[in-house]
Amino acid sequence: DSGVTQTPKHLITATGQRVTLRCSPRSGDLSVYWYQQSLDQGLQFLIQYYNGEERAKGNILERFSAQQFPDLHSELNLSSLELGDSALYFCASSPLGTAAYEQYFGPGTRLTVT
Amino acid sequence: KNEVEQSPQNLTAQEGEFITINCSYSVGISALHWLQQHPGGGIVSLFMLSSGKKKHGRLIATINIQEKHSSLHITASHPRDSAVYICAVKGGAQKLVFGQGTRLTINP
């Protein structure tokens, strides 16, 4: 158990809908990273938050947004969902703001868009 | 060409064999991560290294910064080592770039 929690574990929704994925980092970790893993693309970095502020942005679509709250949990919002958004979404946390430190991964949320 | 290339893509071996998975990258990096993804999907961080060699139990990771190459070795492999092993590098930006993964199957 990494200490990182993600909810929900599974999510099935229809095209055009909006969903929110939630991540709680390990106690004391200030950074949260979001990743998408699809069958054809592998793992891809989406976005990082550090202590409530956006720190780095990767291949995140404009239909997706995220935020980190004062209690350090983070939410990833996915809107106008398309079939191609079906994937595993992981969050990871680390103590500091640099990706040069070990990251602790949550169990993931499996999103299926039908 | 991907920034991070792993080889082999798939590897099947017998229990007890010595396993080597390779990772080559094309950018300057400050850190390299080795991750293990279990069949159920969960990801575990195995190593983070920026130079030299690290060992944890039967796992050894090495990196050669000049050659832009890292290897993950597993000694005395066991069926429970069956998983996908993923290499990821941190370049100049605050993000990880991932290899495509190596699917390892260890048969009893």
pLDDT, position B1? 61
Q: Check whether A40 has a pLDDT greater than 80.
A: no
For residue A103, list chain B residues with Cβ-Cβ distance below 8 A: 33, 45, 96
pLDDT, position A98? 73
**Burial class for B40, CB neighbours closer than 10 Å (0-12, 13-18, 19+):** exposed
pLDDT, position A16? 97
pLDDT in tens, B43-80: 999 999 989 999 999 999 999 999 999 999 999 999 99
Mutation target to probe the B interface, by most B beta carbons within 10 A, among A9, A36, A103 is A103
User: Alpha-carbon distance A12 to A20, whole Å?
Assistant: 12
Sign of the four-CA dihedral B9, A89, A10, A7: positive
Q: Check whether B41 has a pLDDT greater than 90.
A: no
Query: How far B102 CA lies from chain A's nearest CA (Å)?
Result: 11
Q: Which residues contact A15 (CB under 8 A, 6 or more apart)?
A: A81, A82, A83, A113, A114
User: Alpha-carbon distance A8 to A109, whole Å?
Assistant: 6
- Of chain B, the percentage scoring pLDDT greater than 70 comes to 96
CB A43 within 8 A of CB A108: no
Give the closest of B45, B93, B94 to A102, CB-based: B45
Place of tokens 């106008």: A80
